Amino acid sequence: MIELDRAGDIWTVTINCPDKANSLTHAMLVELAEIMEAAQTARVVILTGRGKVFSAGADLEEARAGLAKSDVWERLSGAVAALPGLSIAALNGTLAGGAMGMALACDLRISVPGAKFFYPVMKLGFLPQPSDPARMAALIGPARTKLILMGGQKIAAEEALAFGLIDRIVEGQDLLNHAAELAADTRAASAEIASGIKEMCAPEGGVFDPQTRR
């Protein structure tokens, strides 16, 4: 269900459950978190999925059983955010629900043209994961974050690009190649330079804190 390709210093992590729209079980989330926690030595981590949907969020049966409120989502997004190397979400399709957290925690997000983005927590009666609203607001502002989280809006790729929720739209057949191109300079630079630039890009030169929004 989770594939890991370690090609030297670039790790590609793929969610591979397309028959269920790459919906995530607790076991899959734990595996993703463990991979991200082990990827401290990776210069680049690319996160993607198989099929036409990146992830529909939580597996519905497990969500009803408590997965929607599990802290494993926060563990995963925190591990992504803590990566010292460049992290790229190569979104092969629609991104929904709790799966938004790991993409928001990445440094860059590129998407295929037909993707949609939504996080229907109000409709489902759940709070979003603690870090997600602040990370989203840091990218697109508080009002647009409320448009998604409170207004329940589905945002198409073109609008997501205009908002700043994603950074580039790329045709599907070119998605992973483009991610590799974006990673090329980071791979070529020294690890100290790459991690130093990443740290300098964080608010006030530090690690983003979802509690203080700094």
Can you tell me the distance from the alpha carbon of 121 to that of 199, in angstroms, rounded to the nearest whole number? Answer: 31
pLDDT in tens, 45-85: 999 999 999 999 999 889 888 998 899 999 999 999 999 99
Question: Residues with Cβ < 8 Å from 60, sequence gap 6 or more?
Answer: 23
Percent of the chain with pLDDT over 70: 95
Tokens linked to 32: 């993703």
- pTM score: 0.92
Q: Are 17 and 93 in contact (CB under 8 A)?
A: no
Residue type, 18: P
pLDDT at 117 over 60: yes
> What pLDDT does residue 204 have?
60
For residue 110, list its beta bridge partners: 90, 168
Residue 84: enclosing H or E segment and its boundaries?
none
